């Protein structure tokens, strides 16, 4: 008797397919022909797992969350099967309708056995290098952060100690004292994640522009103290964390312990939490160093209130964006992973043991060829 393996439907997530556009009409037409479901993603979908979006049911926390749905429209096509050519037929029909599925299109499996890299290679006809973290994990590392090796290659100075601070959902720092064997880095804690989640809950947008809403509030020192008491901040590096650790429900447990606060005061306290967790982590690393340098990249560089607070907490430091080093702060992360892919092609190690905790440096990634 043959074992029957149940395969669940897949879904396709398409970015920037605006309602009323030719692309939108072509996708809807192709979906109808293949008896697929199609709908626009809304703000209500934020935080929903991709598996739940594909299957219409709620799942555990281990599935990847849906990406943010900003002003750019996004739509999801669900009901595709993996084993009967549905995906190819759908793509061909969209193309016959005069539209091209953009490279921003992302196909997401409800099973973790289906890799996005293989699908991207199939859809684009381009070699794809992916799975950059698992080899570091296999060597005993945490698989993150991976960008310090790139920061060292691009931003290091032989004259000065530099730090590169990436403020994304989680903030991470690369410490570049000069020689390669002395580079280290780690996640400092939350960057934008709690700020964005709280703003979305109370203001409906995806982020607090320039930190203006946070700037209208006041820091609650009791709440700040509870947040800074998280055990992660007392761990030695190398270390890494994620959004799953610093969540809104975790923060709201502390809110429930005290009298009600104004929403803008919570936002201001969360901004202070990000600023303090960063400066508490990096400040001691520069003791005795004249004029240490900190260059910031990532989305947090656009939060003026946060940047000004970092300046206040780091007197005597030079603080600037990576623009001052010749690389736009919005591009650093993407270029870093392109550099890691090039390192794979060149047979060059992409991790740093002092950063991830791996037993050795290793070539990272796997190649999924186009043909």
Residues 146 and 198 in one domain: yes
pLDDT (tens digit per residue) in 305-329: 999 999 999 999 999 999 999 999 9
Residues 177 and 210 in one domain: yes
Domain that holds residue 96: 10-114
Nearest to 228 by CA among 216, 212, 246: 246
Q: Count CB atoms within 10 A of the CB of residue 332.
A: 24
**Euclidean distance between the first and the last CA atom of the chain, given in angstroms as a whole number:** 35
CATH number at residue 235: 3.30.420.40
Residues 246 and 287 in one domain: yes
**Cβ contacts of residue 88 below 8 Å, gap of 6+?**
none
pLDDT (tens digit per residue) in 211-238: 999 999 999 999 999 999 999 999 998 8
CATH number at residue 47: 3.30.70
Highest mean pLDDT pick, 56-65, 237-246, 282-291, 337-346? 337-346
- Two tokens at 230? 């998280």
Tell me how far apart the alpha carbons of residues 100 and 77 are, in angstroms, rounded to a whole number.
15
Write down the pTM of the prediction. 0.71
Residues 196 and 290 in one domain: yes
Is residue 121's pLDDT more than 90? no
Work out the pLDDT band at 158, boundaries 50, 70, 90: confident
Flag whether 78 is in a domain: yes
Flag whether 310 is in a domain: yes
Residues 205 and 244 in one domain: yes
Residues 160 and 241 in one domain: yes
- Specify the higher pLDDT residue, 332 or 21: 332
Query: According to the 3-state scheme, what is the secondary structure of 250-294?
Result: HHHHHHCCCCCCCHHHHHHHHHHHHHHHHHHHHHHHHCCCCCCEE
pLDDT (tens digit per residue) in 248-302: 999 999 999 989 999 999 999 999 999 999 999 999 999 888 889 999 999 999 9
Overall domain count for the chain: 2
Tell me how far apart the alpha carbons of residues 353 and 35 are, in angstroms, rounded to a whole number.
50
Flag whether 72 is in a domain: yes
Q: Which residues pair with 14 in a beta bridge?
A: 75
């Amino acid at each position: 008797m043959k074992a029957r393996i149940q395969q669940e439907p897949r879904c396709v997530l398409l970015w920037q397919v605006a309602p009323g556009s030719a692309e939108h009409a072509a996708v809807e037409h192709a979906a109808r022909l293949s008896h697929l479901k199609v709908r626009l993603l809304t703000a209500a979908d934020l935080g929903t797992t991709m598996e739940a979006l594909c299957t219409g049911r709620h799942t555990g926390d281990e599935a990847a969350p849906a990406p943010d749905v900003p002003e750019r429209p996004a739509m999801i096509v669900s009901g595709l099967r993996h084993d009967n050519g549905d995906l190819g037929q759908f793509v061909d029909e969209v193309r016959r309708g005069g539209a091209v599925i953009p490279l921003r299109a992302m196909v997401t499996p409800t099973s973790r056995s289906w890799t996005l890299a293989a699908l991207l290679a199939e859809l684009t006809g381009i070699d794809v290098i992916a799975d950059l973290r698992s080899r570091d994990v296999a060597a005993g590392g945490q698989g993150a952060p991976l960008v310090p090796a790139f920061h060292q290659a691009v931003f290091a100075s032989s004259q000065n100690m530099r730090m590169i601070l990436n403020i994304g959902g989680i903030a991470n720092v690369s410490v570049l004292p000069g020689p390669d064997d002395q580079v280290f880095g780690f996640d400092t804690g939350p960057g934008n994640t709690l700020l964005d989640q709280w703003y979305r809950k109370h203001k409906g947008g995806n982020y607090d522009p320039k930190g203006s809403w946070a700037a209208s509030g006041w820091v609650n020192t009791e709440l700040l103290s509870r947040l800074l008491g998280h055990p992660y901040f007392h761990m030695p590096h190398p270390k890494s964390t994620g959004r799953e650790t610093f969540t809104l429900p975790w923060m709201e447990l502390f809110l429930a312990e005290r009298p009600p606060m104004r929403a803008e005061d919570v936002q201001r306290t969360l901004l202070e939490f990000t600023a303090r967790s960063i400066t508490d982590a990096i400040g001691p690393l520069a003791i005795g160093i004249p004029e240490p340098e900190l260059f910031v990249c990532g989305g947090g560089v656009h939060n003026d209130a946060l940047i000004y607070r970092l300046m206040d907490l780091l007197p005597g430091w030079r603080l600037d964006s990576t623009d001052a080093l010749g690389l736009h702060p919005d591009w650093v992360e993407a270029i870093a992973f392109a550099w890691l892919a090039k390192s794979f092609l060149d047979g060059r190690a992409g991790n740093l043991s002092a950063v991830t905790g791996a037993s050795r440096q290793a070539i990272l990634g796997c190649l999924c060829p186009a043909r």
